[in-house]
Structures are given as structure tokens and as C-alpha cells.
Structure 1
Amino acid sequence: MKCTEDEITRILHVNYVHVTLYFVITFSAVAVFVGTKTILNKIRRNNAQLTVIIIGAGPIGLTSALISVHCKRVQKLVLYEEQSKSNVERRTYQIALQPAQVSFLRSYGVDFDNLEGLWHKGCFYTRVGIYLEYIIHTLPLYSMGTEINFGTKFSRDIRDTVDKISGRKLVICCDGSVGVATHTLGLSDECVIHSCGILGAVATVEKNNETLVPRPEKRIHNLSFDLSAYVPTAFEENNSSNFTLKIFGNSKCRYMALAVNKCNSNVVRALKTVLDKSMMRNIFLKCFNTYKRSSETSISDSYCLNNMKFSPRLYEIKLSQRMENVAYIEDCDLFVITEGEASRSYNFNTGLDINIGLKGLSALQPFIEMASLAETEHSIMQSLIYKMEHSNRICREFLKFGLKEYIFL
């Protein structure tokens, strides 16, 4: 049967209308799907939140808590501390905050005008208990849910409780270099040890008749020692050892740090290899009485003998870096990170030790943002890489500049 030209035209027109209508419907459906997905993604991103669990109420743990309550992505904060609240607030050692860390803490609301302490050359010196007490009393002022559990050691039972919390979670381990939280959570304890290329020794004298008044540090450079009375070969006319001495701490607990770049001078070899406690004690005694602050009293030989603790010889200063400092546990939608000495520490007291931990915390808020929004395997991995790279950068910078900044400059 042959179709006329008009019938062919009509059939083609009908087919064209059908095809056009099909494409319009398909395009509209795709547009609605994409639009709906975009809106839902935007709603999800705006509402993405997590619960932060912090282990350890030391200066790094409580500073982590302060940063967390400033993050809109954090819906609840839970903190576990093994010691009692009173013991935490009574901690006596002195901390010194560098100007960059003072500025960093100010950005999170730390009011240094209402903190008991001492300013000296841009650094702020205070007793650690005062700083911790300030943050403990500040946290409840924020509207978000905050739960602080003192006298509670993080255990496997608590870990199981954390696993059961609904939604995404972030655990921040701040329980120090000997803490067990990371091991309890399944992270590896493996560390890499870096040499700082510097030898050092430390001493402390507790002056029981003094109170816990903060004191600024004092540095003395290019010291030389004549040890020929102890080791006949340990005498150098050219004074090539170039020791640096630092006196720091509050008025009750006075610390001394002695440091020198690794070298083969006679004096350095003697102080590194000869185990003569009287030699090292005498060095610290003479150093303290010669370079103490003018307002301080000298210490006698007998007082030094009974009240000074010190390194018996020079030792190599090393930085310990945890290999696995961030992880994601898919089964319970849990991120785990380490901060402070749980992440990196070194075997030498400089009085500025807290600053390396605070430098690590500069990445905490961006990481919380990334962890809250990460949905795909790729985005989760990107957040982990960001945290690992930041931690590695902190270690590299410390090895290059840290002790030079804390001791030698």
C-alpha cells in the first residue's frame, strides 16, 4: 500500500513530535535529578557534623577542646582525663608561649589579660595549672554539648562506648608520649627517631622556700669550660666548644639546659664519655650562680648536693615521631589523630616544649572541616593525607629550626 506525500509528511511530523517530547522529558528528568542532588548535597554539607572525643586534659588536650568548640561542624565534645580536676589544675611546671602561639590562642578567645602570668619579649610565661583551669572554666560557656570526665582512664570499655556513638566521630589522642589510647584504638606504636645533631644535658633545682612565681628565661652563649681538673686532656685554649646555657622555670623550680652542636672537641668528648657526676654537678652549680637573675639567691654546694637533679653526661638530643598519627576506621565511621607528645616528642627540656604541640594544632580546625564533609573513599584519603603532611612538616621544621630557636638564638 502506497502512502501519499501528505500521509508521509504527517507521519514524519508525529515522529518528530514524539522524539522531541522524549528528549524534553528526559532532559527535564535529568535536570530535576541533578538539581535535587545538588540541593541535597548542599543541605548535607551544611548539616555535616561530628562528635569530638579528646583523651587527655593537658595543655594540648584542652587547647584541642577549645579549638573544637569553635568549629561549627562539632555537635558534641567529650573529654576523658585519668587524673582528677583538682590535680590537673594544681600542675606546677611553667610553660612559655611564643608570640606566634599567643596570637594563635587569641584567635580562639584566650584572654591573656585575665590569665596570671608574665610577659617578656613577646613571650607569655605562666604555670600550666593556671592555663588549664582557665580553659576548663571557659568550655562550658559555649552552647554546644560538652562533657568532661575527670578521673576516667580511657579503656577498652570506653572505646566500645565511643564506637556506639551515632554519626561520624573524631578521637584526638593527647595523652602524652607514654599514653596507651592510640594502642587501645588499634594504631601502631611504631616511631621513627630523628637526630637533632645537638648534644645536651639538663638540670633542675627545687627551691623549697620559694613560691610558684613565673620567671622569664635567660640564655648565655659561647660558654667554655676548663675540665682539666677532672680530665687532664679536656683543656682547650681556643674555646671551640661554644656551649649555650639556658636558665628557665618558675621561682620554685629552676631548670638549666646545656647544649652544644655535635663536634669532636676535647671538652665535648669528655662531657659525653666520662661519667663523673661531680663534674657535671659542678658545671651546673657554677653556671647557675654565675648567670642567675639578679633577684635570685645563690645556691651552696651542700644545697646543690641534696636538691639538684641533673644529667650525668651529655647525650644526643633526638626527636621521636609517631609513624601512624592519623587513621580512619570505616566500621564505626571513626577518625583518630594524635596531637602533642602523643604525636611527636623529644628528650630535652627547653621550657618552650608546648609550642611544638601548638604548631601541630594549627591544622586541627581545617582537618575537622575535611573530616566532617568527606564521603567518598577519595575525600577521606585526602583528609588523612592533609593531616599526615602537616605532621611531617612540623617535624621537618623542628629539626631544622626548633632547637636553634628554643636554645641557640
Structure 2
Amino acid sequence: MDGLPAGVAPSPGEKAEERYRALAYDTALSTLAAVLVYALLKVSLDGFRQWRARIPVLVVGSGPVGLTAALVAVRSGKVLKLTVLDERCRSALLCRPQQIALDPRSVNFLLGLGVDFDNMEGCWHNEHFFTRIGVFQEYLLSILEQKKQRVDVKVQLGTKFTEEYLRRIPHGQRPRVIVVADGSCGDTCSALGISSDYTAESCHAYGANATIERLDQRQVPTPEIRAHNLYFDLSAYGVEALRELRNPGSKPGFHLKIYGTFRNRYMALTCPASDTKMVRFLRHTANSSVMKNIFHQSFNAYKTDIEPRLNDVTLHSLQCSRRLFEIQLSHRRVSAAYIEGDNVAVTVEGEAARVLNFDTGCGVNLGMRGLESVGTLIYRTATAVDQNDILEALAEKMQHSRQVAETCKHTGLVEAMYG
């Protein structure tokens, strides 16, 4: 034996100690092997469980954001059954002529969901895609129809979400995730008991909107027109803007956007918050014709060459803000919730979650930002081991929603108007 002189046999105590060490070593090896087998088995079983996990998902609202949310759900790979509800009928949804402009970030997001813009009526300009709301919705509905081969997809148009509707669903088939995208006037959140409190925050800018409908014009997608650093001749009202412009410390002028189809034309005018004479006048003037004249002149100056000018006959159909107003973003304080009794995770998206009081045509893009984390929420809810996992996923979803609102407040107008 090592450590003993040659020819000297170990004592009985030493033999017992040696056997004890050998036994302890064998026991440690056995325990380690058992732990490794258990860990490997658990990882395998957890992986198999996560791979097999599928849950029912309900989307309330079939506007552009709601239908995109439905596509996100299908693409998550964790949906057993997808139901889309909307109280409006199909014809009321698809006939809407309003134009939407999908910015590059939204385009890339939709490309990742399998949207093929080459097969959708619309046009491209500066990496933006312009189409009508009805066309976009019809395309997404057609994609969802194709997904029925792999996922149980049910689109129920003309059906309103109520507490009674939820109670009628058999317990084993109730949704584990509800995506609320029924717009700023929807009452689904109220039916689910989610607080209706909103936080309104300034975007540090002033703006005004105008719209005109000309029935003799075409209802086709049209690129946006943008003009920057504009000043207006308001000398007839006693405001000398040119003198302000010559001042070294003068603030930048106004930004103008003309968008929509030739038939339904929209205009947005905005400027960063300032206290110049012109801004003060346009914020407080009681003369409602001032803004109409500004929009009238702006449209005729920057319209496309192939559309007619506004004249005295068509001017009466121009509707616009009476004066400049402060641009604010309102966002829901509670944008995600957990219904404990039914074990349901709820997320609020689109204009049901956040909305500008200033229409720039960018509402759909703002809604798309919130959807970027919906797939993760569905995946984590489907594979959750316990309630804490779901609550953690909802906390991260709320954090993302707050970040979307914060980013929009600081850079939303830069992307939609100033750029």
C-alpha cells in the first residue's frame, strides 16, 4: 500500500478507511450520474413540452393592427386556436378608403411575418409603402385563411366581445392570451375590467389638420408630399413673420405633409413648440379663416402636378382645425393585465393603447411598434411553468409598451413629419 513501508500490512482501521473512501467515491459518482441523467431528462422533457405547447388566442378587433396581431400569433408557432372578433361586418371593414403609409420599420416587420407587398395594391416611395386600409385588411384576411391548414383560425366578423361571449366559451377552450385592438373607442378593456386611465403627455410641438374630399378624383394610393421650414405671410393679420425669420435666433418654421388618395386628401401642419409671434397668433386667434387660408395656399403650392388646385368653389369643402393646438400622446396606464381566475394574459395594442391627438397618418406604424413584443408574450405564456412566468412576461410587455410611448413622444414627429 502507498504510504506504508515495504512488507508492512495495513491495519484493520486503515482497511476500513480505504473501503469508506472507495464507497464515498462510488456514491459521489453515482449521485453525479443520477443528477446528470435527471438534468438531461428534465431538459429534454421541458424542451418537448415547450415544443408541444399550444394555447388558444383571441384577438379583438380586425383593423390593420388587430389583423397583424393575428398574423403575429400564427407565426409564433404556439397557437392551438386563433379567434378574431370584430363587431363590424366584412363589407364595412374592407370598403374603407383611407390610405395608410407603412414606414420602413413597419415594412420590415411585416416582411418578417410573410407579407408579400408585390401582391398588394399600393405604391412605394422613399422605402414607404402606401395602400388603402381596406386593401391591407383584405390581404391579411387572405393570409389568415391560408393558415387554416396549420392552425385552427376562426374570423368572426359582426360579433361583439362581451363578458357573456367569454363565459359561453367552454372552460378548456378559453383563450390564454387576449389581444385587445378595438381602437380608441372600443370597450373591450372595460368588459375585461382593465382600467381606462390614460396618461397624456406633450410632444413639445403644435399642430393643425385639414381634410378635403373630392368625389371627381381617383381613389388610388399616392405617395406623401412633405415640405419643411415654411413661413406664412400673415401681414394682413398684423403678424410680420419675415422679420422673425431674419432674426439670428429664430426658430425653425413649419412642417407640412399632404397625404391620402387624390379623392380623400389630408394635410398636417406642425412646428416645434416655440413662442414666436406667428405661433402665438396661430394658437390663440379667434379668426377661423386663418388656418383655412394657410392650408389652401399650402396645398396649391405643394400638390402634385396632376391634381387640380383648390379654388373658391372647392375651398368650401376643406375642413380644418380652427387654430394650432398642442400635440399630445395619450397612452393607457395599464396596457397589459392578468386575469387570475381564468388564467388569461391580456395585452392592449394599437389605438386602444396609445393615440396622438394629431392625425399624421402614422397611427398604424405606432400600433406596429407595440406588436413587436406580442409574439414573445404568446410564446412565454404558452411555455410558462407557473403563474410567475406569465406575470414576468406581462411585466416585460408593459415595459415595452411604455418604451413605445416614450419613443413616440420624443421622436414620433421627427419620423412622421420633420424628416
Q: Same fold (TM over 0.5)?
A: yes
Distance 1:119 1:376 in 2: 46
Counterparts in 2 of 1:16 and 1:86: CA distance versus 1, 3 Å: same
Describe the shift of the 1:26–1:81 C-alpha distance in structure 2 as closer, same or farther (beyond 3 A).
Answer: same
Equivalent residue in structure 1 for 2:339, among 329, 342, 361: 329
The alignment's C-alpha RMSD in Å is 2.7
CA-to-aligned-CA distance 1:73-94 (integer Å, 9 cap, x gap): 1111001011111111111100
| Mapped pair 1:150 → 2:157 | yes
- Helix, strand or coil at the partner of 2:313: helix
2:219: which partner in 1? 212
**Runs (4+) of structure 1 moved beyond 3 Å?**
7-40, 165-168, 233-236
Residue in 1 that maps onto 2:186: 179
Q: What residue in structure 2 maps to residue 3 of structure 1?
A: none
Show CA shifts across 1:266-307 (max 9, x none).
Answer: 1111111112111111111111111111111011123212x1
Contact between 2:214 and 2:264, CA under 8 Å: does it hold in 1? yes
Aligned counterparts of 1:260 and 1:46: Cα–Cα separation in 2? 51
How far apart in 1 are the matches of 2:88 and 2:193? 23
Correspondence 1:86 to 2:96: no
- The answer to whether the aligner puts 1:107 opposite 2:118 as a matched pair is no
Change (3 A) 1:302 1:46: same
Q: 1:48 to 1:232 in 2, by over 3 A?
A: same
Task: Give yes or no for the alignment of 1:130 onto 2:135.
Answer: yes
| SS class of match (1:196) | strand
Tell me the secondary structure at the aligned position of residue 243 of structure 2. coil
Map residues 347-366 of structure 1 onto 2, 5 A cutoff.
347-366=357-376
3-state SS of the aligned residue for 1:312? coil
- SS of equivalent to 1:45: helix
Equivalent in the alignment of 1:318: 328
Any conservation in 2 of the 1:167–1:333 contact (CA below 8 Å)? no
Partner of 1:61: 66
8 A contact 1:163–1:332 mirrored in 2: no
Mapped pair 1:96 → 2:101: yes
Structure 1 position 27, deviation (Å) = 7.9
Moved more, 326-335 or 251-260: 326-335
For residue 20 of structure 1, report the CA deviation from its aligned partner.
Answer: 10
Separation of aligned partners in 1, 2:105 and 2:33: 55
Which among 54, 70, 76 is matched to residue 71 of structure 1?
76
SS of equivalent to 1:301 = coil
User: Which string of whole-angstrom CA distances, capped at 9 and with x for unpartnered residues, describes residues 368-408 of structure 1?
Assistant: 11111122343223211211111111112112211011101
Mean Cα displacement is larger for which, 173-182 or 393-402?
393-402
1:338 and 2:344 aligned: no
How many residues were matched structurally? 402
Which one of the candidate residues 390, 393, 403 is aligned to 2:400? 390
Q: Say whether the 8 Å CA contact 2:282–2:323 is kept in structure 1.
A: yes
1:258 equivalenced with 2:258 (yes/no): no
Is the partner of 1:51 in helix, strand or coil?
strand
Give the distance between the partners of 2:284 and 2:31, measured in 1 at CA: 83
Equivalent residue, structure 2, for 1:277: 288
Please name the residue that 2:208 is paired with.
201
Q: Which runs of 5+ in 1 are unaligned?
A: 1-6
Instruction: Please give the secondary structure, in 2, of the residue aligned with 1:211.
Output: coil
AA aligned opposite 1:199? Y
Q: Is the partner of 2:358 in helix, strand or coil?
A: coil
